[in-house]
Amino acid sequence: MYNPKSLKAEEFISHEEVLETLEYAKANCRNAELIDRILEKAKLRKGLSHREAAVLLDCQIPEKNQEIYALAEQIKKDFYGNRIVLFAPLYLSNYCVNGCVYCPYHQKNKHIARKKLTQEEVAREVAALEDMGHKRLAIEAGEDPVNNPIDYILECIKTIYSTKHNNGSIRRVNVNIAATTVENYRKLKAAGIGTYILFQETYHKESYERLHPIGPKHNYTYHTEAMDRAMEGGIDDVGIGVLFGLELYRYEFAALLMHAEHLEAVHGVGPHTISVPRIRRADDIDPDVFDNGIDDDTFAKIVACIRVAVPYTGMIISTRESKACREKVLHLGVSQISGGSHTSVGGYCEPEPAGESSEQFDVSDKRPLDEVVNWLMQMGYIPSFCTACYRAGRTGDRFMSLCKSGQIQNCCLPNALMTLKEYLQDYASPDTRTVGKKLIEAQIPNIPSEKMRELVRQNLVNIENGQRDFRV
């Protein structure tokens, strides 16, 4: 039985409810009256149920689909403005005891280069990322209790926060590691992490167990209930996602939204972020083996429907996707992207030796960060390196209440402009600096408060004079 308030994985992600949802959506894919009612509800910016959103995803009426896209774009602007938050992944170790058949880190892969960064290497990687201009990282590591115990992760977080290079500093570390215990989540919280991120990969239990044949990740229930343990451990910002291509996308879409409903129902706080990765080629992984891949148009509609259904959530798209694909979905709901990314262990300081690879997946968008920043600004977006909400304690229900009411806009635009100014001063190419200065001047009048506008103007001058890290 489907019960979003249950703490049991098979009740808040009910297989029967997913199947009934898919049948309901299929039966109503041309029901214009119902679709109109759902769109009217979505315009209230309060979100949709998984069943309502599934109807929109299945909608076969072209003019209604255009309404969905237009609404998604407007909702994104209403909640997140034209800001795009930038981050980079940092791979600490690819040692792993699991057997995930879609990931080259799987235990049986004997020819991938296995690596684990020392603390000195972590510091060098961080300095290289700081020299690019990054302020926010997402750390990644395979699941291996011997090589990657929680104490190693905690030590790496400490090293990251303590590494300062020139004007650079990492101000927020998000963590994407395997499902763990409440005690370990408490340790991560005490270490000052931002968001805890864990992808479900697939919510289809039978497929999940087949795709994870060995290792602790094989336990569907333990993995699916991880966010509840994280919340119990005090981490109030969590990020969910699926790996599209492993299972039928309609199934994953409905279940993903059921997970969001569950977090809201039990903890009063839905997912801080939702990620939408698609399976990609890697060391010994051929994505063509998986027959549930989705094309770019379907992918764009998924993004739009998630944005309409969960208007408050941050949406993340990585360098797995091409420049063209990323540009398309930026308009439809994405609010965070990675830039200048490497998915190998130790890939930022120096390239890997010829013939050696520790990458988790092939990167499609290989542009350096400065080019990504310039590209965003040329499209009218404000690249943001802001981490203010985490550091000011605006997390969990405090962030969500501000976001849902729209009040977060009073903080986000000023902080985005000030962190962009830091980037322009310290790291940007001459052309990017020129474009950025014009963008900042054009955006200052959009700050609602005259007092805040003057504060930002003064802080921009202070940044030019060498001061750093202003936030409101």
pLDDT band at 58 (very low <50, low <70, confident <90, very high): very high
Within a 10 A sphere around the Cβ of 184, how many other Cβ atoms? 20
pTM assigned to the model: 0.93
Q: What is the mean predicted confidence (pLDDT) over 262-268?
A: 96
* Confidence (pLDDT) at 420: 98
Q: Is the pLDDT of residue 405 over 80?
A: no
The gap from C-alpha 277 to its chain's centroid, in whole angstroms, comes to 9
Backbone angles phi, psi at 285, to 5 degrees: -115, 125
> Is 160's pLDDT higher than 90?
yes
The percent of residues above 90 in pLDDT, for the chain, comes to 79
35-52 mean pLDDT: 97
Mean pLDDT of the chain: 92
The pLDDT of residue 164: 95
Res. 319 pLDDT band, cuts 50 70 90: confident
Closest CA to 140 of 312, 318, 385, 353: 318
pLDDT over 60 (residue 286): no
Averaged over 380-391, what is the pLDDT?
A: 89
Q: Which of 229-238, 284-293, 388-397, 422-431 has the lowest mean pLDDT?
A: 284-293
pLDDT for 242 equals: 96
Of 360 and 292, the structure prediction assigns the larger pLDDT to: 292
**Mean pLDDT across 397-424:** 81
pLDDT of residue 391: 79
pLDDT of residue 433: 98
Which pLDDT score is estimated for 353?
Answer: 61
What pLDDT shows up at residue 158? 98
Which of 15-29, 88-102, 330-344, 408-422 holds the top average pLDDT? 15-29
Indicate if the pLDDT at residue 284 is higher than 70.
no
Mean pLDDT within 376-392: 90
Which residue(s) pair with 88 in the sheet? Answer: 137
Average pLDDT over residues 334-344: 92
Q: Read off the pLDDT of each residue in 369-375 and give the average, rounded to a whole number.
A: 97
Please enumerate in sequence order all residues whose Cβ is within 8 A of that of 203, keeping only pairs 6 or more positions apart, or say none.
Answer: 13, 18, 224, 242, 247, 251, 252, 255, 256, 258, 259
| Longest distance between any two alpha carbons in the chain, whole Å | 63
Reported as a single tens digit per residue, the pLDDT across 182-230 is 999 999 999 999 999 999 999 999 999 999 999 999 999 999 999 999 9
In this predicted structure, what is the pLDDT of residue 343?
A: 83
pLDDT at 448: 85
